[in-house]
C-alpha cells in the first residue's frame, strides 16, 4: 500500500487542502529602501451652503473619522466655511453630524483622500471644487434638548431646552417619560417606578417644539455615585390596630407615622433624618423616603402615636444601591401594633390608665389625644380600649430584629 496516497486521501477526507510551501527566497535588491518623507499635514476646507438660496450656511457640524486618528469636528462659520486641519496622508470619512436648526442634515458619508504631497480629493473630486449644501426642511427641526449630568440611582432626569417645547426621555429599560420645558428653560422627568439608573447606562432625550419636527437625539451617560456620597433610604409601613387586623386606606390617611434614622435608638441623628409615611394610593401601605443619608450606622425608628415603635439596625455604605430599600426580617413591610399610648415600647397598665383618663372624648376637643385613639376614628372609646387590651403586654421585642 502506498503510504503517501493514503495520507493524501485522509487529508482530503478531513477537509484540508494541501498548502504551497514558501521557498524562503529573499529579495535580491542590494539597496536599502529610501526612508519615507515626513508626511506633510494638510487642511481640508470647503463651503457649506443653503441648498435653496446658495447662501453660506453657518452652524453645520462635521466630523472627520479615520484609522488611527481622533475624530475631528468642525462647525461652519458665518461665511459657511468649514476647515479641518492637521491631516496626515490617508483615507478619511467626512460626515455632517448636525445640521443648523431648520435644515435637514446631509446624511451622506464622503471619502476624503489626503495624498502624500498634501493634495486632497473628496469622493475622487479635487477638494477645491467640493462644497456641501443642506436642504431647508419643509418643517423646521427642533434642537435637541440638553441633559444635565446624571448619577447612578438618580430619581429624576433634568435638563434644559426651549421654553414651551416638550421633551421625551427614553430610559435603558425602554421606559419613557415626558415633560414640558418651563418658561425658565428647564425640564425634569421622574425615573420610571421599579427602574434604577446604573453606572454607564445611556439616557436619550428628544425635543419637539411647537410648529417644528422632533429633534435628533441627545444622550447622557450615567456616572457612578461619587465615593463618600449619600443614599436615599426608602421603606414601607402598614398599620395593624390589633393583632393581624388590618385597616384600609381611609384609616391609613390618618396614619401619621414617621420614619427616622437615629444614631442610636434613643438619639435622633444630627441633623434630623426624618420622613413622613405617605400612603401609596389605596394600597393600605405607606412609604417613607429619607434623602441624603451619609454612609454610616443607624437605627431606623418608625413610630405612630399610640403604636409600638419599630426599630431596625441599618448600615448605609457605598455598596448600597441608590435608593436603598430597607425592610424588616419578617417581610417587605414594617407593620405597627397599636396600644403604646405613652410611647415606652410596651403596652401595659400605664397605657390603659392614660386611655381611661381621656375616655369618651372626641376630636377636636382639648382632652382628645391622638395617641389614645388607636383606630384613628376621632373618638377615644370602647374600640380603642378593646384594641389596647387585645395587645396587652406586647413589647417592641415582638418584632424580629428590633433594637430595644
Ligand atoms: Ca406603653
Ligand atoms: Ca377610637
| Ligand 2 center–CA 258 separation, angstroms | 20
Which CATH number do you get for residue 270? 2.60.40.4130
- Using CA atoms, how far apart are residues 261 and 209, in angstroms rounded to an integer? 45
Whether 240 and 364 share a structural domain: yes
For residue 92, what are the domain limits? 42-134
Least distant ligand from the CA of 339: 1
Whether 117 and 180 share a structural domain: no
Cell 429619607 identifies what position?
A: 290
Whether 121 and 241 share a structural domain: no
- Which residues are 181's β-sheet partners? none
Of 96, 112, 134, which residue sits at a domain end? 134
- Alpha carbon of 51 to those of 133, 135, 144: distances in Å? 5, 5, 23
- Alpha carbon of 132 to those of 43, 64, 77, 211: distances in Å? 17, 14, 14, 27
| Ligand 2 center–CA 335 separation, angstroms | 19
Least distant ligand from the CA of 392: 1
- Using CA atoms, how far apart are residues 107 and 89, in angstroms rounded to an integer? 25
| Ligand 1 center–CA 234 separation, angstroms | 27
pTM for this predicted structure: 0.45
Q: Is 3 within a domain?
A: no
| Ligand 1 center–CA 393 separation, angstroms | 9
Q: Is 403 within a domain?
A: no
What SS3 state is found at 388? helix
Whether 307 and 250 share a structural domain: yes
Q: Is 139 within a domain?
A: no
Whether 157 and 49 share a structural domain: no
**Per-residue model confidence as pLDDT tens for the chain (404 residues):** 444 433 333 333 333 343 433 444 444 445 555 665 566 688 999 999 887 677 889 999 999 998 777 889 999 999 999 999 888 888 898 989 988 888 877 777 787 888 888 889 887 778 888 887 776 766 678 899 999 988 887 888 999 999 999 998 988 887 778 999 999 999 999 888 778 888 899 999 989 888 777 788 899 999 886 666 788 999 999 876 544 444 544 455 566 789 999 988 888 767 778 999 887 777 778 899 998 888 888 999 999 888 899 999 999 988 888 889 999 998 899 988 889 999 899 999 999 999 999 999 998 889 998 889 887 778 899 988 988 998 999 998 888 889 87
- Using CA atoms, how far apart are residues 81 and 103, in angstroms rounded to an integer? 17
Whether 89 and 213 share a structural domain: no
Whether 326 and 212 share a structural domain: no
Least distant ligand from the CA of 338: 1
Q: Is 35 within a domain?
A: no
Structural domains of the chain, count: 3
Whether 87 and 68 share a structural domain: yes
Pairing of strands 186-190, 306-307: unpaired
Whether 272 and 389 share a structural domain: yes
Q: Is 161 within a domain?
A: yes
Amino acid at each position: 500500500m502506498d503510504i503517501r496516497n493514503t495520507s493524501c486521501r485522509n487529508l482530503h477526507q478531513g477537509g484540508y487542502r494541501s498548502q504551497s510551501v514558501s521557498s524562503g527566497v529573499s529579495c535580491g535588491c542590494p539597496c536599502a529602501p529610501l526612508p519615507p518623507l515626513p508626511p506633510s499635514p494638510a487642511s481640508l476646507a470647503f463651503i457649506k451652503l443653503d441648498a435653496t438660496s446658495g447662501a453660506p450656511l453657518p452652524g453645520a457640524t462635521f466630523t472627520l473619522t479615520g484609522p488611527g486618528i481622533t475624530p475631528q469636528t468642525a462647525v461652519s462659520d458665518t461665511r459657511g466655511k468649514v476647515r479641518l486641519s492637521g491631516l496626515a496622508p490617508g483615507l478619511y470619512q467626512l460626515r455632517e453630524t448636525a445640521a443648523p436648526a431648520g435644515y435637514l442634515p446631509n446624511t451622506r458619508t464622503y471619502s476624503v483622500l489626503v495624498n502624500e504631497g498634501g493634495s486632497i480629493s473628496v469622493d475622487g473630486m479635487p477638494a477645491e471644487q467640493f462644497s456641501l449644501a443642506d436642504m431647508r426642511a419643509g418643517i423646521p427641526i427642533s434642537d435637541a434638548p440638553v441633559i444635565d449630568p446624571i448619577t447612578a440611582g438618580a430619581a429624576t432626569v433634568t435638563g434644559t431646552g426651549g421654553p414651551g417645547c416638550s421633551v421625551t426621555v427614553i430610559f435603558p429599560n425602554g421606559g419613557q417619560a415626558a415633560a414640558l420645558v418651563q418658561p425658565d428653560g428647564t425640564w425634569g422627568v421622574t425615573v420610571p417606578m421599579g427602574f434604577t439608573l446604573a453606572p454607564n447606562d445611556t439616557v436619550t432625550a428628544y425635543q419637539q417644539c411647537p410648529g417644528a419636527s422632533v429633534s435628533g437625539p441627545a444622550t447622557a451617560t450615567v456616572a457612578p455615585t461619587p465615593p463618600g456620597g449619600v443614599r436615599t433610604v426608602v421603606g414601607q409601613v402598614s398599620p395593624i390596630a390589633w393583632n393581624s387586623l388590618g385597616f384600609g386606606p381611609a384609616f391609613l390617611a390618618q396614619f401619621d407615622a414617621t420614619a427616622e434614622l437615629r444614631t442610636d435608638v434613643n438619639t435622633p441623628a444630627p441633623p434630623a433624618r426624618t420622613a413622613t409615611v405617605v400612603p401609596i394610593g389605596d394600597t393600605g401601605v405607606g412609604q417613607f423616603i429619607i434623602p441624603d443619608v451619609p454612609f454610616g450606622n443607624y437605627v431606623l425608628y418608625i413610630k405612630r402615636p399610640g403604636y409600638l415603635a419599630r426599630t431596625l439596625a441599618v448600615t448605609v455604605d457605598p455598596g448600597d444601591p441608590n435608593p436603598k430599600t430597607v425592610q424588616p426580617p419578617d417581610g417587605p413591610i414594617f407593620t405597627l401594633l397599636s396600644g403604646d399610648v405613652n410611647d415606652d415600647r410596651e403596652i401595659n397598665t400605664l397605657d390603659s390608665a392614660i386611655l381611661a383618663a381621656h375616655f369618651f372624648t372626641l376630636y377636636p376637643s382639648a382632652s382628645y389625644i391622638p395617641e389614645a385613639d388607636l383606630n384613628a376614628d376621632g373618638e377615644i372609646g370602647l374600640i380603642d380600649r378593646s384594641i389596647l387590651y387585645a395587645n396587652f403586654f406586647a413589647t417592641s421585642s415582638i418584632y424580629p430584629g428590633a433594637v430595644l
